[in-house]
Structure 1
Amino acid sequence: MHDLTGFQRDVLYAIAGHDEPHGLAIKDELENYYETEILAGRLYPNLDTLVDKGLVEKGTVDRRTNSYSLTRRGRRETEARREWEQQYVGELLVDS
């Protein structure tokens, strides 16, 4: 996970929050978070990179639509990242 961009980590989190979302659902989730348009030319190459790294599995809904889910490795690495973040962010939330 250390070699991913912040955007790629956000894509993983968006996938983790849904049950096998398709690309447009991931795009909508990221657009809500970033409060800006996410172009297909940015999203889909990053999804392909996550598939190539073994963190995401790409399925087929129909001829034009793919679904995405975290692999076991993707879930494990996402959880490890959350635990790492929690040791820093968790202290901020408790102190507030």
Structure 2
Amino acid sequence: MDELTGFQRDLLYVIAGADRPSGQDIKGEVERYYSTDVNHGRLYPNLDTLVNKEYVEKGQLDRRTNYYAISDRGQRSIENRRDWERQYLETNR
């Protein structure tokens, strides 16, 4: 996961926390978190990167709408990231 940008990690977390969200669902969640608009030219290339790197699987809901789902690799990467973060957060208490 270390090769992902912060934005890509945020997308991955949103996908992991939802049940097969569409690109628009993901966009809405990220916009709420960032409190700003996220344009399609930023969103979809980054989603494609996550698919190409096999962190996320992409499927089709209908002719116009895709869904995204966390892959096994993506889930393991999130768990590893949490373990890495936890070692620093717990030692500072």
The answer, yes or no, to whether TM exceeds 0.5 is: yes
C-alpha distance in 1 between matches for 2:85 and 2:10: 14
Which residue in 2 is equivalent to 1:86? 86
- Residue 89 of structure 1 deviates from its aligned partner by 2.9
C-alpha distance in 1 between matches for 2:87 and 2:29: 26
Q: How many residues are matched?
A: 93
Amino acid at match of 1:45: P
Amino acid at match of 1:23: G
Give every structure 1 segment of 4 or more consecutive aligned residues whose post-TM-superposition deviation is greater than 6 Å.
none
Amino acid at match of 2:56: V
C-alpha distance in 2 between matches for 1:19 and 1:90: 30
Which residue in 1 is equivalent to 2:22? 22
C-alpha distance in 2 between matches for 1:26 and 1:51: 14
- Residue 83 of structure 1 deviates from its aligned partner by 1.3
C-alpha distance in 1 between matches for 2:85 and 2:65: 33
The answer for unaligned runs of 5 or more in structure 1 is none
Which residue in 2 is equivalent to 1:71? 71
Q: For residues 1-80 of structure 1, what are the structure 2 equivalents within 5 Å?
A: 1-80=1-80
C-alpha distance in 1 between matches for 2:71 and 2:83: 18
- Residue 82 of structure 1 deviates from its aligned partner by 1.2
C-alpha distance in 2 between matches for 1:90 and 1:43: 33
Output one character per residue of 1:34-55: Cα deviation in whole Å (capped at 9) or x when no partner.
1100111100000000000011
Amino acid at match of 1:66: N
The answer for unaligned runs of 5 or more in structure 2 is none
Instruction: Give the secondary structure class of the aligned counterpart of 2:20.
Output: coil
Q: In angstroms, what is the RMSD of aligned CA positions? A: 1.1
